Amino acid sequence: MRLVWHGRIRQPFVVWDVQARMPELAYTTVMTTVARLAEKGLLTAERVPNQRSVLYHAAGSPTDFLARASQQRVEELVRLLGDAALAAFEVQLGKLSEDQRRRLRDMAGR
């Protein structure tokens, strides 16, 4: 994803574009990895009409990914641990500096 996010692989791209940047990896390894990244929502996949090719695009930025992954993890912790997880978050929030609190408010407002 770093290659895609930093523009070292032009978008849209196909598996061959990634494999060309990592020739030590087998094509099938790259194909599986790219497909899994698409399944996880980091890439979007679009079939090319009348061809076997799939065009891939980044589904968002690294910041978007971190925000989505963080939200999913928090939801999972709260689902699994309930009030104990919320209490642990409260303790951590109480330890934050005013600058950290401001940044959190800004991020939550997105």
Dihedral angle computed from the Cα positions of residues 89, 92, 98 and 100, in that order, rounded to the nearest 10 degrees: -80
Residue-level pLDDT at 110: 62
Residue-wise pLDDT tens digits, 31-80: 999 999 999 989 999 998 888 889 999 999 998 888 888 889 999 999 99
Please give the radius of gyration of the chain, using alpha carbons only, rounded to the nearest integer.
19
* Fold adopted by 2-58: Arc Repressor Mutant, subunit A (1.10.10)
Nearest Cα neighbor of 34 from 13, 65, 6 is 13
User: Has residue 109 got a pLDDT over 80?
Assistant: no
Return the domain boundaries, the chain.
Answer: 2-58, 62-108
